[in-house]
Structure 1
């Protein structure tokens, strides 16, 4: 009935008020057309409809809710008008009807193009309501005589709706998940969709919190949309409101060849990442043992290594997908954010290094001991363990796709990633002529194994440094105590203890806080980014972690290079560093917003433009091309 009444009112404009001057007035409101400048620039001029609405009355937002119509403006050809820009709305519930409204002083900016001459004419229609609704319309003529506009100060200096820094996801049951905000930051929340008929507008939107952020139960009016856009208003405990524009992650893409190929290529390139260098030492020793062996034996060893990689990758993918399904914001390399995992990984790597050095023979657990090619299988398990701190080219997009897919296709992408990692070794099983070129075993292998143990010891020291960064001296003490306890079970205890004692100074030498490698770098925050962007300053964002070797290589080899430092200084580029060594919901949200599943992530924001995602392997030339634009 209410909608029919509104339609009838609109069809009979005699109920409204008309005006031919630059100002329209009624008992309910006063409306005029204003400009930010008194002359067009390149045929364009920024205009706005200014409403001064009497108390108790309101107009409607771009999605009016259950009833109402938003303001509309048009002009005669050849002038074209952009859409009105709306501020954050208010929620109004009246007689079981939920509406999204604007009241008080409202300015709705828009841009007119193809403007010529010294004036512009426009016609506007809107609906103003209290307990009744009155459709109004007016024609405006605005002089453009040059000079400074007296109304320029009425245009919002900063938008009331800002892009959300948090990753948003809509589940099938209507739960809107936002990674980041906590109960200490948010007292109440309401979501306003841009599209009509998506929500039961007058229904409540219950708010709850999880370890990784907030949950808002949206009362869907029908099927869950594949993608949802709108404004989320968050009110903090002090009553301050923040309006965030967000779009939920699109529906999971259908599994097709490019994603599988990206995962396969990413796994193959992962072999070239510095994280995998320690395992390459174990591979080299394994290959040396195969010199002169029968091709059938070589094939078993290669398949054993591949099986280890696939089992480990499947386990990692299963845990990651399980955590994501439970609402935890887990990404590639998430396990290294746990000090317990870092310590255990360090002990395993140390044991593997000591085995290579001949300190003891690494015997297999019972279930692995029954597997053919058990040493190769264990090497495959270790390969995935030490590879996770790195992200190779193509991996980020493939893993992000996996995290959006249903479980079975997602697991397929993780297995494709593992297959790519194991592919160089699989070539030995498929190409006998390559295996025939392997050097035959000999006395040289004993020396080679001791040399190849050094990368394993370096990895242990690096993991100790990561643990020290996470926990300080208590964590380092636990790591050392565990290593010394392990030595009691070894036959060559003095030699083992000496190695541990030699490594400890390297662990303690690292700073306990993240190092900002560039002069003037600041910690990343969404507020700091918004502030810098508002001033028109270019911004470079470096999302990194102490356990990410690729990050460390890029920072020391590229971002700390003199040409890059000079470029940032010359171009006045602000540098923000986001440290993801420990769990950080703000960094997690930024990763998810850019559809990336782990670090490193490099973003460059030009003074007036969208962010550019830079490659995961940086060179000074790549940075220079991005900044110089």
Structure 2
């Protein structure tokens, strides 16, 4: 019997111990949901309270425990990956807030940098219990989530969770293990920065400047900036740090899809004792001096001056053959025909004045581009065609030139007649003006060799830019200049006669065609309202041209056509003022049915997923772009090649100003259109030439 009682006591004691142990563990179990497990992660939904009370606000969180060397992601994942997403099904009256993101670390694997977390992390959120929750009931939280974890490869995962918390009169905290998990996130909780911060852009660099008390070389041993949005900085590029008394400065590299404007981010600072803290910054845009950004603009012009000059000269020479220059070929042909019967001196002077006009236009463009860049603006080659006012003015000018060639009026003729000396000046002025016009009309597109030269020149010192643009102008003017200096060809033309009048009138129709094309461009930019204004201006141009012609024909009372012509010109200036205030519209004609609109974020996600991408940067005012699309990109051979290789076709429309496209072009040191880049899976972009053929595109895709 004693043995029996002893055994019974021992059994009872074990049972009581087991009950007490279960009672002890229940709060911990209640504070964590079911587990979703894989060889890489163990994920659950946790609560910092094992029991809740009505109306209480507590924290819940997605808890991730990761295998060694694997990491998950912050809200801006960097170059690869995706942040975790979670959706909830809650009882009526309960609410849950957004993720309170812990401060991340940076992981660099080869050419890719990511922002995220290793080992263990909790993504905390605020949960409010309904006021009418009854003690004794259960608060049931159901959720579904997805996340990506990466080592050398990235694996998407997902799971569903159910967390049941008892409702009691007084809340009860979770067990120490769960609280310790939350403390990992708390140690990374970003603090509001007590300093003023700004971000200045210049060239390919950025300068992050933070000023305030407490910043010293002892308190800041190292620092790393994490931008809140994608497309602000190059994530993998080094971030150089300089620390002074009350100030720290960091030199960053612009991202490929950089767009200026206010920005937010975290500044992770490690102090002299090895303690790491994250500070939330709101960065005001600022302007830095060239000296301040010298280090940030670490990439110098990619080409030496002599090579830029040679490329610019060759590009300008080839520009004579580009479709963009077609509108001015009619003027060149008329001028060349005008050399018939002229003496050698006049022929040479005409060619020289044409060349001077070309060079003057290129110098004006260079100075204008440099001035806008110095003021912090982002513009590129052909930027003037992004202005509806400029496009409409060019349309009216082309129409006026066409009317002049058709004989409606004469430029420079005096009603009372002029002497031979004035006529000669008029001819040289006409040659100079032809050179100016050739450059203005040619700027919508770039030729081979021009892109690298222009891109390098615009980030180089001003004198380098002027030399490069001058060489480009010399290349464009060279064919006509050679005809003038060696006029043997001109002497072989038929003697002056009616054929010259017929040729001149025939050359008016390319001008009319150009005016019609510019009207279409304006419709893409400014919509129906801009088109109405431009058409009204075209009517006024025709009226003014007719009135000027009447005055030149020697009417008895020349004052009335002159007066009405002045009124017509005043009307044109009024229409210019209207166009200056016209808001641009989103172009609708540029998007092909099989093309995605360009987005820097979308491009990055496709590249991270290993998808091949073909990027086409185009504009309605770029004739070469339109020719390439019609003759190459829209053909069955190219489309089939893209489909066979599962290439994603992206299209950026630069008809109106778009900072994202400007930044994309500048990341390749390009400032003009057309521009084509093909991204093979896992490799850097391959830049294609501005004049495409089916063979060029299909070979790039298939290789």
Q: State the TM bucket, normalised to the shorter chain.
A: 0.5 to 0.7
In 1, the alpha carbon distance for the partners of 2:119 and 2:598 equals 36
2:368 corresponds to which of 296, 299, 319:
319
The answer to whether residue 688 in structure 2 is matched with residue 614 in structure 1 is yes
Cα deviation 1:568-627 (Å, max 9, x = unaligned): 122211100000000111111110111111111111111221110011000000001100
Assess if the C-alpha contact under 8 Å between 1:546 and 1:581 holds in 2.
yes
Partner of 1:40: none
Q: Which runs of 5+ in 1 are unaligned?
A: 1-30, 37-56, 64-81, 90-101, 107-151, 160-165, 177-182, 218-231, 238-245, 496-510
Shift of 1:418: 0.8
Shift of 1:379: 0.8
Secondary structure of 1:213 counterpart: coil
In 2, the alpha carbon distance for the partners of 1:623 and 1:289 equals 43
Cα deviation 1:450-496 (Å, max 9, x = unaligned): 2111111111011110111111111111111112222332337999x
Assess if the C-alpha contact under 8 Å between 1:290 and 1:441 holds in 2.
no
Partner of 2:505: 450
Relative to structure 1, the CA distance from residue 59 to residue 526 in structure 2 (aligned partners, 3 Å threshold; closer, same or farther) is closer
Shift of 1:520: 2.2
In 1, the alpha carbon distance for the partners of 2:234 and 2:447 equals 39
Shift of 1:441: 2.1
Shift of 1:184: 12
Partner of 1:377: 432
* Count of residue correspondences: 452
1:467 corresponds to which of 490, 507, 522:
522
Shift of 1:175: 6.9
Mapping of residues 349-364 of structure 1, within 5 Å: 349-363=398-412
Partner of 1:258: 307
In 2, the alpha carbon distance for the partners of 1:257 and 1:319 equals 23
Partner of 2:540: 485
In 2, the alpha carbon distance for the partners of 1:627 and 1:234 equals 43
1:536 corresponds to which of 599, 610, 613:
610
Partner of 2:480: 425
In 1, the alpha carbon distance for the partners of 2:318 and 2:237 equals 42
1:415 corresponds to which of 465, 470, 473:
470
Cα deviation 1:186-241 (Å, max 9, x = unaligned): 9x99999736555559735699xxx9713899xxxxxxxxxxxxxx999799xxxx
Assess if the C-alpha contact under 8 Å between 2:628 and 2:691 holds in 1.
yes
The answer to whether residue 291 in structure 2 is matched with residue 291 in structure 1 is no
The answer to whether residue 449 in structure 2 is matched with residue 394 in structure 1 is yes
Partner of 1:117: none
In 1, the alpha carbon distance for the partners of 2:423 and 2:441 equals 19
Shift of 1:293: 1.5
Secondary structure of 2:672 counterpart: coil
1:582 corresponds to which of 646, 651, 656:
656
In 1, the alpha carbon distance for the partners of 2:635 and 2:106 equals 51
Secondary structure of 1:417 counterpart: helix
* Deviating more after overlay: 550-559 vs 427-436: 427-436
Shift of 1:515: 3.2
Bigger CA radius of gyration:
2
The answer to whether residue 676 in structure 2 is matched with residue 602 in structure 1 is yes
Aligned-CA RMSD value: 4.5
Relative to structure 1, the CA distance from residue 543 to residue 173 in structure 2 (aligned partners, 3 Å threshold; closer, same or farther) is closer
Secondary structure of 1:313 counterpart: helix
Relative to structure 1, the CA distance from residue 474 to residue 205 in structure 2 (aligned partners, 3 Å threshold; closer, same or farther) is farther
Q: Which runs of 5+ in 2 are unaligned?
A: 1-64, 71-101, 122-147, 156-198, 210-226, 252-257, 265-277, 284-294, 415-421, 551-584
Secondary structure of 1:359 counterpart: coil
Assess if the C-alpha contact under 8 Å between 1:253 and 1:404 holds in 2.
no
Secondary structure of 2:507 counterpart: helix
Partner of 2:321: 272
